[in-house]
Structure 1
Amino acid sequence: MCGRYATTRSNTDLSKLFEAVDVAEPLRASWNVAPTNAVPLVRMSKEHDGRVLDTALWGLVPHWAKDLKGGARMINARAETVAELRSFAPSFAKRRCLLPADGWFEWVRDGKQKQAFYMTPADGSPLVFAGIWSVWGPESVRTCSVLTTAALGGLRKVHERMPLILPAGRWADWLAGGGDAVELLRPLDERDLEAIEVRPVGPEVGNVRNNGSELIEATTKVTLF
C-alpha cells in the first residue's frame, strides 16, 4: 500500500525532468500527500503531441461512478489485478501516467505503538511511480491511482506492498499504452532498491493537517534493519 507520500518539485523542475509541456496549475510542495489531494502527474496528450505535466486528485474515480466519494478508497491499484478489474482496466489500457515523488510513508506496529518510516532515495533523486488516471463527470475531474506491487528486500519489514517504481528507461513504454503487461508491471531489481533509504520519522505525518519538511527528518534510529 502507499497511503501517504511527498512530492515537492516545482512545475519547472518536473516539466524539464520529463520533457513535458506544463499545463498544470502552480504546484505546491507537499510533504504529506493524502488521499483526494491534487497531485502532479505526467500523461500523454494528443493536443500537445506528447507528454504534458498536469494534476489530478489522488484516488481514481471511474467515469461510471455516481460521485467522487469513492476516490479515497481507490488511491492504489494492485499490479497483479489492474488489467482485470472493471474500475482500473480501461485506464491501464489507455490512460497511464507517471507520478513524481520524493518518497513515501508506511507504518510498522509495535504492540500498541506505530512507527512511521519514510522511504526515499539516499541521494535525493526523484522517484517515479507508475500510475493510471481517469476523467469523471461533466466537469471532467481528473483522478489517478498509484500502482503497487509486492515489497522487495528489506522493504518487506516495513510493509508487504510498495509503489511500482519506474526507472527512466521504462517511462516511454509505460505511457505508450498496450504492450506486454508482464514486462510493464515488472518491479525494480532488488539491487536498485539498495539506493532507497528507510528513514524512521516522527508520528506527526499521521495527521493530514501537518505538512512541512520536518515530517521527513529522521528521528532516533530504530532497530528494524
Structure 2
Amino acid sequence: MCGRYTITVSLEELMLHFLLGSGPASYGPRYNVAPGQWIPAILGGGEGAPGRLGELRWGLVPGWTKEAGGGPKPINLRAETVGEKPGFQRLLMRKRCLIPADGFYEWRKTGNGAKQPVRFVMKDRSPFGMAALYDTWVDPSGGKLHTCTIITTSPNEVVAGVHDRMPVILPREAEKIWLDRTVADVRPLLPLLTPYPADKMTSYEVDARVGNSRYDAPDCIEPMRTLL
C-alpha cells in the first residue's frame, strides 16, 4: 500500500516539473502526508493544455456513496483490479489525476517485532507523479467534497525487500496520457499501471517519528542509514 508520502519541493519547482498552469497560494512543503488530509493533486491537461494544481482529500468517497461519513474510504486501489468494478472503471475513464510527490514511506519488519520506516526516492531526488483517481460527493444541500485514492501495483526490486506493494509512479511520457481528458478508453491506460524502474530509485531508513501522522517536520526525511 501507499499510506505516507512527502512532497517537499518548492511550488516553482513543482510547477516547472509538471508544466502546470496554476497553483494554490496555500501550497507548502509536506514531510509526512497521511490519509484523511487535504493534499496537492494535478488535474486536467491533455491536448497541449497545462494541468492545474488543486487540493483533494486523501481517502476516496465515491459520488455514489449515500453518506460521506459512512463506508470505507479507500486510500489505495489495486492496479490489477481497478478496472473490474463498474464504479471504479468509470473513474478510470473520466476522473484521473496525479498526486505529486518526491518520496514515500513504507515500514520494514525487524527481528525484534518492531517496524523500521524507510523512505523511497528517485536517485536524482526529482519529484514524480503517482497515478490516482478522484471523485466528487455532493451532499443534499449541494455542498461538494472532492476526494482521491492512489493506485498501487506490485513492487520493484528496490521496494520488494520492504513491502509487497508500491504506488504506481508514471514516467513523464505517461503522465500526459493519464491526465488527458479526451482519453476515455481504459485499454491504453491499464498498461501504464506497472512498477517504476528500480534502477532509477533508491531508499534509506528514517526515524520512527514519521509513524506519528501529526508530526510533519523536515527531520522526517533525514537519513539514518542508506540501504544497500
TM bracket, shorter-chain basis: 0.7 to 0.9
Give CA-to-partner distance per residue, 1:5-40, whole Å, 9 cap, x none: 001234333233222222535212111100011111
Output the amino acid matched with 1:90: R
Give CA-to-partner distance per residue, 1:139-159, whole Å, 9 cap, x none: 222111111000011311110
Give CA-to-partner distance per residue, 1:47-96, whole Å, 9 cap, x none: xx652111101111100213333687411111011112245222111111
Find the partner of 2:169 among 165, 174, 177: 165
**Structure 2 counterpart of 1:124:** 125
Residues 1:85 and 2:85 aligned together: yes
Find the partner of 2:211 among 206, 209, 217: 206
**Structure 1 counterpart of 2:19:** 19
CA distance in 2, matches of 1:6, 1:126: 10
Are the structure 2 counterparts of residues 8 and 87 from structure 1 closer, same or farther at C-alpha, using a change threshold of 3 Å? farther
**Structure 2 counterpart of 1:150:** 154
* TM-score scaled by length of structure 1: 0.88
Find the partner of 2:194 among 186, 191, 206: 186
| Aligned 8 A contact 1:118 1:199 in 2 | yes
CA distance in 2, matches of 1:100, 1:187: 17
CA distance in 2, matches of 1:87, 1:12: 36
| SS across alignment from 2:216 | coil
1:131 Cα offset (Å): 0.9
CA distance in 1, matches of 2:130, 2:172: 11
CA distance in 1, matches of 2:178, 2:105: 24
Are the structure 2 counterparts of residues 140 and 12 from structure 1 closer, same or farther at C-alpha, using a change threshold of 3 Å? farther
Unmatched 5+ residue regions in structure 2? Answer: none
CA distance in 1, matches of 2:189, 2:101: 23
Unmatched 5+ residue regions in structure 1? Answer: none
| SS across alignment from 2:129 | strand
Which sits farther off after the overlay, 65-74 or 2-11? 65-74
1:186 Cα offset (Å): 3.2
Output the amino acid matched with 2:165: R
CA distance in 2, matches of 1:220, 1:98: 30
Q: Aligned-pair RMSD on alpha carbons?
A: 2.3
Output the amino acid matched with 1:158: V
CA distance in 1, matches of 2:151, 2:78: 6
Percent identity of paired positions between Structure 1 and Structure 2: 33
